[in-house]
Amino acid sequence: MNSGQRANVDTHRLRFNAMGCPCEITLEHTDELCAQRAALAARAEVERLDAKYSHYRDDNLLAEIIVAAASADGASVDDETADLLDFAAALHAQSGGRFDITAGALTKLWDLQAGRVPADAEVAAALARTGWQRVRWNRPQLHFSTPGMRLDLGGVVKEYAADRAAQRCRDQGVAHGVVDLGGDLAVVGKHADGTAWRAGIKAARAHDPHETPGAFASIELSHGGLATSGDYERAMIVDGRRYSHIIDPRSGQPLESFASVSVLGESCLVAGAASTIGMLLGPREGYAWLQQLGLPFLCVGADGAISGTLAAADRT
Amino acid sequence: MSTQRSLSPSLAALLGAAAALGQAHAQSAAESDSHVGYRFNEYGEDSFHGDAIGSRERYEVYSQQFQLDTRVGSGALDVNATHEVMSGSSPWYVIPGPDNRPIQVLSGATIKEHRNELRAAYTLAPGTSSSTTFSASYSNERDYRATAVGAEHSFPLSNSLTLGAGGSFSHDIIEPTDAELYQRVLHEEKNTASVFGSLAWVLDKASVLQAGVQLNHENGYLSDPYKLVSVGSDILPDHRPGERTEAALLVRYRHAFDRPAAALHLDYRYAQDSWGVVAHTFDAAWYQRFGAGWQLVPGVRYYTQQAARFYAPFYAGGEHDFQSSDFRLGTFGAFSASLNLRKRIARWEISAGIERYHASADYAAFRGSDSAVPGVLSYTRGFIGVDYNFN
């Protein structure tokens, strides 16, 4: 049945910056205008979520919720935020308390720009303002029992946004494409010719912190999402010692883990949750957890060693 | 990545937690893409050339269309409003001239008539292969009101096959003007029910074949209240059966080309009805895209039909079950050629088009009917339009 002719499909790309990372939407469609409309709608969705949940801003909904949650009455949140909080609560439970959206004070303390290791007293003070267990969450009411707590939904919003953006493209009648938000991917649909998308996994720094990361492995994905958690992008070296930006919210200390964990899932949201928890649980516990989870995954160790069920995937 | 095998408890927990988020927050995504369009159409019939009596003022229609597509909830709403102004004379009845040559009698030019129509359609899961559309329309003019509702659903049978099915129902009310003056009917009604089914088959990356069948059944007053028929020395009202069933077969083929960036559309329709009318329609169009948002679409069409069993330009005296000299029930053929142009400029789209339609008894593919169709007409139609896409 194949005429041998290539489909009259145009590839339409839209690049932009959102959620603190470079984003790219790639769509294939016979109608350029349709692809353009879909890409713009998808970008608008990403920007909406970025504006709503960015923790770098103090004029958005998240900031309002934080202020209100600290008040005596607490905050009443909208449905979408409530769903995100429910999801975050489930991740907190699944990760034995390591995935914690209230770790904002700790993350800020270990701010990588500072270039210094915080004092124990500072860590203790931040720890006192951290912990999902200090939050009373009775949907839709959110209440902080300790003053000065922060919320950071960055660990789920980007993946959620990727899925939402891909859905917007499908809603607009685009069946082939992929949404890439800084390495977190959500598939709109396979290539127009029916083949899967190939995604590059960025290499870790391994032993040399100055080594430029490049793509070292490629993974095929035909639907769902691919998410990567890693600390190769942000880490700090003080007195020759490397401090990961992954902070254990229970001890307040950076934890040694993989250089990166990538997971394929039915959605980018699920893939992202799995890769983040795998990362937070560390090399031994995390690996075992990912194995029993059952989703295809790829781990890059701090020493550059590759493992996981996707390790056999062909390398570039 | 299959979730069909047994899930680990942790994955089940993750998927369960993600499921709530997977449900689109439709209200938060309400700022979605929409489209508005305006179109101005002009339709003008050629002046009558044959042997005729009466006003020869050509029949013209000017129409304006407004269109709005937008998201409502998780579906797509499409609203269409049309206003038409019609004027001119039209074929009335035919009388036998010397040697029985038909002479067309034309009605006096009408004053300007207006028609308004509102149509709305709501599609669930738009743009997917499993969509459902509900539609409703209402049309109103001085002597005619039509109300219609419809629904259709498509669902995928496999990766390359999509089945579509639907139906519609229309109820029309006819209240002719000057009824008492011309002894026309005062109030009549007509119902039309349609069902259709189609199968779309993706042949390969570049081509799709679609085949469909449609059944239409009309009952009620199906005559034309304004047309008359010459029977012997009498002039009597147009009189057709009170029921009509039509079956149609449709085949569509689409092929996309990479170089040049174009698409070929080929359509064929066969229809046959219980009055004996058999019709073939062939359509071909070439959608050529150029750089900078230009698109040019030349198209040709051939139509031919065989007359209804009871059609005649005029009748000998005596009793007849049915009688109509409406040329639309005669044997004829028609060629038409069209050219449409579109240009996209950012969020705007400008379009214009022209169509020339020429009909004649000589173009008919059917023979065996020597009944003349003196009223058959030709026309020219043009449009200009502008569309705007917004969020």
Q: At what angle do helices A154-171 and A79-94 cross, to 10 degrees?
A: 130
The pLDDT of residue B116: 97
> What is the C-alpha separation between B382 and B366, in angstroms, rounded?
30
- pLDDT band per the 50, 70, 90 thresholds, residue B148: very high
CB contact under 8 Å between A264 and B1, yes or no, is: yes
The pLDDT of residue A64: 81
Q: Where are the domains of chain A?
A: 56-152, 196-307
CATH number for position B281: 2.40.160.60
CB contact under 8 Å between B11 and A293, yes or no, is: yes
Instruction: For residue A314, count CB atoms less than 10 angstroms from its CB and return exposed for 0-12, middle for 13-18, buried for 19 or more.
Output: exposed
Q: Which residues form the domain of B302?
A: 130-390
Average pLDDT estimate for A20-32: 89
Is A276's pLDDT higher than 70? yes
Q: What percent of chain A has pLDDT over 70?
A: 84
The pLDDT of residue B280: 97
Average pLDDT taken over every residue of chain A: 82
Nearest chain B Cα distance for residue A167, angstroms: 8
The pLDDT of residue B2: 38
CB contact under 8 Å between A293 and B10, yes or no, is: yes
CB contact under 8 Å between B203 and A224, yes or no, is: no
- pLDDT band per the 50, 70, 90 thresholds, residue B129: low
Half-sphere exposure of residue A121: CA atoms within 13 angstroms, side-chain side: 0
Q: At what angle do helices B9-22 and A79-94 cross, to 10 degrees?
A: 170
CB-closest option in A192, A270, A292 to B14: A270
Average pLDDT estimate for B292-299: 90
Tokens representing B330? 């005669």
Is A5's pLDDT higher than 80? no
CB-closest option in A44, A86, A292 to B8: A292
Is A247's pLDDT higher than 70? yes
Neighbours of B225 (CB within 10 A): 19
Size of interface A-B (CB pairs under 8 A): 133
CB contact under 8 Å between B33 and A295, yes or no, is: no
The pLDDT of residue B75: 83
> What is the C-alpha separation between B384 and B354, in angstroms, rounded?
9
Closest CA to B138 of B172, B104, B92: B172
Residues of A in contact with B263 (CB under 8 A): 8, 30
The pLDDT of residue B7: 64
Q: What percent of chain B has pLDDT over 90?
A: 55
Q: Concatenated DSSP letters for B3-67?
A: SSSPPPHHHHHHHHHHHHHHS--GGGG-S--EEEEEEEEEEEEPPP-SSEES--PPPEEEEEEEE
Is B64's pLDDT higher than 80? yes
Asked whether the beta carbons of B255 and B263 are under 8 A apart, the reply is yes
What one-character DSSP code corresponds to residue A210?
T
Closest CA to A310 of A233, A231, A226: A226
CB-closest option in A8, A40, A94 to B257: A8
CA-nearest residue to A43 within chain B is B32
Is A204's pLDDT higher than 70? no
CB-closest option in B31, B203, B205 to A192: B205
The pLDDT of residue A212: 46
Alpha-carbon separation of residue A68 from A61, A75, A81 (angstroms): 10, 5, 14
The pLDDT of residue A208: 45
The pLDDT of residue A234: 54
CB contact under 8 Å between B1 and A296, yes or no, is: yes
Question: CA A22, A28, A30, A34 torsion: positive or negative?
Answer: negative
- pLDDT band per the 50, 70, 90 thresholds, residue B279: very high
Is A113's pLDDT higher than 60? no
3-state SS, one letter per residue, for A118-185: CCHHHHHHHHCCCCHHHEEEECCEEEECCCCCCCCCHHHHHHHHHHHHHHHHHHCCCCEEEEEECCEE
Phi, psi of A309 (to 5 degrees): -70, -15
For chain B, the residue count is: 391
> For residue B346, what are the contacts with CB-CB under 8 A and spacing of at least 6?
none
What is the four-CA torsion angle of A151, A152, A153, A158, rounded to 10 degrees?
160
CB contact under 8 Å between A86 and B20, yes or no, is: yes
Question: How many domains, chain B?
Answer: 1
The pLDDT of residue B54: 77
> What is the C-alpha separation between B173 and B221, in angstroms, rounded?
9
Average pLDDT taken over every residue of chain B: 87
Residue with token string 């669902």: B155
The pLDDT of residue A28: 92
CB contact under 8 Å between A293 and B207, yes or no, is: no
Would B68 be classed as within a structural domain?
A: no
What one-character DSSP code corresponds to residue B325?
-
- pLDDT tens digits for B191-232? 999 999 999 887 876 788 899 999 999 999 999 998 999 998
Is A7's pLDDT higher than 70? no
Average pLDDT estimate for A268-290: 91
Is A210's pLDDT higher than 70? no
- pLDDT tens digits for B68-89? 999 887 788 999 999 999 998 8
Nearest chain A Cα distance for residue B1, angstroms: 6
- What does CATH list as the number for A56-152? 1.10.3980.10
CB contact under 8 Å between A5 and B206, yes or no, is: yes
Is B371's pLDDT higher than 90? no
- CA angle centred on A212, ends A211 and A215, rounded to 5°: 120
Instruction: For residue A274, count CB atoms less than 10 angstroms from its CB and return exposed for 0-12, middle for 13-18, buried for 19 or more.
Output: buried
3-state SS, one letter per residue, for B75-141: EEEEEEEEEEEEEECCEEEEEECHHHCEEEEECCCEEEEEEEEEEEEEEECCCCCCCEEEEEEEEEE
The pLDDT of residue A308: 87
The pLDDT of residue A115: 67
The pLDDT of residue B104: 86
| Cα Dmax for chain A | 72
CB-closest option in B17, B205, B206 to A90: B17
The pLDDT of residue B92: 84
The pLDDT of residue A303: 79
> What is the C-alpha separation between B336 and B220, in angstroms, rounded?
33
Residues of B in contact with A281 (CB under 8 A): none
CB-closest option in B256, B263, B389 to A37: B389
- Mutation target to probe the B interface, by most B beta carbons within 10 A, among A168, A270, A277, A285 is A270
Nearest chain B Cα distance for residue A7, angstroms: 4
Would B272 be classed as within a structural domain?
A: yes
Bridge partner list, B77: B70, B122
- pLDDT band per the 50, 70, 90 thresholds, residue A216: low
Nearest chain B Cα distance for residue A113, angstroms: 34
The pLDDT of residue B62: 96
Nearest chain A Cα distance for residue B363, angstroms: 36
CB-closest option in A33, A274, A293 to B344: A33
The pLDDT of residue B224: 94
Least confident of A22-36, B97-111, B137-151, B307-321: B97-111
Q: What percent of chain B has pLDDT over 70?
A: 92
Residues of A in contact with B350 (CB under 8 A): none
Is B149's pLDDT higher than 70? yes
- pLDDT band per the 50, 70, 90 thresholds, residue A243: low
Tokens representing B144? 């005619």
- pLDDT tens digits for B316-349? 888 899 999 999 999 999 999 999 999 988 788 9
For chain A, the residue count is: 316
Is A159's pLDDT higher than 80? yes
CB contact under 8 Å between A48 and B28, yes or no, is: yes
Peptide bond into B260 cis (omega under 30): yes
Nearest chain B Cα distance for residue A145, angstroms: 25
CB-closest option in B11, B29, B31 to A294: B11
- Mutation target to probe the B interface, by most B beta carbons within 10 A, among A28, A86, A266 is A266
Is B45's pLDDT higher than 80? yes
Is B370's pLDDT higher than 70? no
The pLDDT of residue B27: 32
Residues of A in contact with B71 (CB under 8 A): 171
Would B359 be classed as within a structural domain?
A: yes
The pLDDT of residue A122: 83
- CA angle centred on A265, ends A264 and A267, rounded to 5°: 130
Nearest chain B Cα distance for residue A245, angstroms: 24
- pLDDT band per the 50, 70, 90 thresholds, residue B24: very low
Is B8's pLDDT higher than 50? yes
CB contact under 8 Å between B25 and A33, yes or no, is: no
CB contact under 8 Å between B258 and A6, yes or no, is: yes
- pLDDT band per the 50, 70, 90 thresholds, residue A189: very high
CB contact under 8 Å between A164 and B24, yes or no, is: yes
Tokens representing A289? 């957890």
Residues of A in contact with B124 (CB under 8 A): none
> What is the C-alpha separation between B11 and A309, in angstroms, rounded?
16
Q: Which residue has the higher pLDDT, B389 or B151?
A: B151
Phi, psi of B147 (to 5 degrees): -125, 130
Phi, psi of B145 (to 5 degrees): -130, 135
CB-closest option in B10, B263, B391 to A44: B391
- What does CATH list as the number for A196-307? 3.10.520.10
Most confident of A199-208, B99-108, B296-305: B296-305
Least confident of A111-125, B120-134, B335-349, B375-389: A111-125
Tokens representing B364? 């008919």
